Amino acid sequence: MLPIAILMVLTVVAVALCFIKDNTVVKRVALGGHIVALVLCVLMLIVTADGTSIRVIFGAEPWNFYVLAGQLDAYMVTIFVGVSTLIIWASLSMIDHDIPSGRVRFYYALMCGLIASLCGIVIFENFFSIFLMVEVSSFVAVGIIIIKNKKENMRAGLKYLTLSIFGSSFILMGIIILYFLTNSLSMTGIVEVISQNYIGNESTVQNAFIFITIGAALKSALFPLHIWLPDAHSTAPSPSSAVLSSLVIKSYMFLYVKVIYKAIGVDILANDPILSMVLFWVMLIGGGAMMYGSIMAILQTDIKRMIAYSSVAQIGYIFLGIGMGTRLGLFAAMFHILAHAVTKAVLFLVAGSIIEQTGNRDIRKMSGLGRQMPITMSLFTIGSLSMIGIPLFVGFNSKWFFATSMIESQQIWLLAVLLLSSLLNGCYYLPIVVRGFFSKSEEESEDSSVKLKSLERSVRGLMPVMVLAGLVVILALLSSPIIHYIQAGIDRIW
């Protein structure tokens, strides 16, 4: 019942927050609810560590709620709740800068509801329940974008909602096709019927898979279907940007993984040339996204928009790993979901702190910022080095695993894409670090003796970001348990 308990805690907290008028109490309840949910997630990790799956069924097929949580599901839910807990903590001292005080309770209600729906996408095994959670997550995600009630937020939210509805429609078409073929909405039932009756129904399965692939690509912002992401991530409140980039898009990627390995099956994919070709194109497009996102990030002057385009590139990494269709490729993708979640949360929260303290979003005007905000810029440096793939930071581990998977699958040419993408990452992250620490501000240029005013936030306000930055290093140095856990989870679905 642990997965259900996690959903219930977050859902009950979300509803309760709507009726609490004291913003201080709202913030404490939101954080407290996340902490309780995180404790339950850790228990779920422990319970599933030996390969045990938690199974809960309410109702009869096909319109039932079917929970099946194994190791990978526990891993994903823990990422969602763990990272969101730290983002919520960080937001306590930031959110009043972004939204009116009268909307704070609704903001935290939306955040709790969003994380609950993301967890639901992961733990539910029935497409009826999953699609319900997909729709809830889409509308609630729009809510945390438009809550600032500014024109640019409304435009970004409308664009996101429109494309998200298109993505949901493609996923729904795929689900309907699978249902009419198998008369089941559970992944377990679908894969059993497909494995027994695949001959003669190849085109039906292929069409369903293509629809779901397009839908997942739209909702995950895979290039060239990413056009909603830069606006949404750059205009939303910074804690929302961190959640959208670190967590929301990952839920749809994991749903795609579940469809591939739980609903279709490895044997069918390996022996069907059309399905294999679809995955090959996913891999190619993922590689293209790595290049495109990095090049576009270089061209940006708005710091949040630059980080948003960086996410387009990182989405490409994950889809590339999935599209390789190998154990190592899937492992690299699953590990990168974690690495990107903690790293991008650091970067967006730091960007939010810079904007709040300086009123500036323009990268070109950040000279000398490292002397005014030394801790903040040090945290940004840690996130930047991780994204580039420097050793001792978790991003390096991810890129090492991707390189290993490329060599193992004899896709050596992909190593060039990986290396070039890493170099491009350095081209847009390092100049900010260098400008912040080693360039003179306008005041210093005019008068070399001037002392810049400190703009640093309090240590208390920066503490959650410090914890996230610490995880960027700790997860790199102590990754063995995570590696074994992910590998064991992949063995269960392969």
Structure confidence by residue, pLDDT tens digits, 208-232: 999 999 999 999 989 888 888 888 8
Q: What is the model's pLDDT at position 136?
A: 92
Q: What is the model's pLDDT at position 450?
A: 61
| Beta strand residue intervals within 172-261, DSSP E | none
Q: What is the model's pLDDT at position 452?
A: 65
| DSSP class of 456 | P
Q: What is the model's pLDDT at position 448?
A: 61
Q: What is the model's pLDDT at position 455?
A: 78
Q: CB burial class (10 A; 0-12, 13-18, 19+) of residue 463? A: middle
Look-up of token digits 């390996």: 270
Q: What percent of the chain has pLDDT over 90?
A: 50
Sign of CA pseudo-dihedral 407, 410, 412, 417: negative
Q: What is the model's pLDDT at position 482?
A: 92
What is the signed CA dihedral for 193, 197, 203, 207, rounded to 10 degrees? 0
Q: What is the model's pLDDT at position 308?
A: 92
Q: What is the model's pLDDT at position 336?
A: 94
Q: What is the model's pLDDT at position 331?
A: 94
pTM of the model: 0.92
Q: What is the model's pLDDT at position 252?
A: 93
Of residues 386, 379, 389, the one with CA closest to residue 469: 379
Q: What is the model's pLDDT at position 330?
A: 93
CB 455 within 8 A of CB 372: yes
If you count them, how many residues does the chain have?
494
| E strand or H helix at 55 | strand 54-58
Enumerate residue ranges in the chain where pLDDT < 70: 441-452
CB 431 within 8 A of CB 380: no
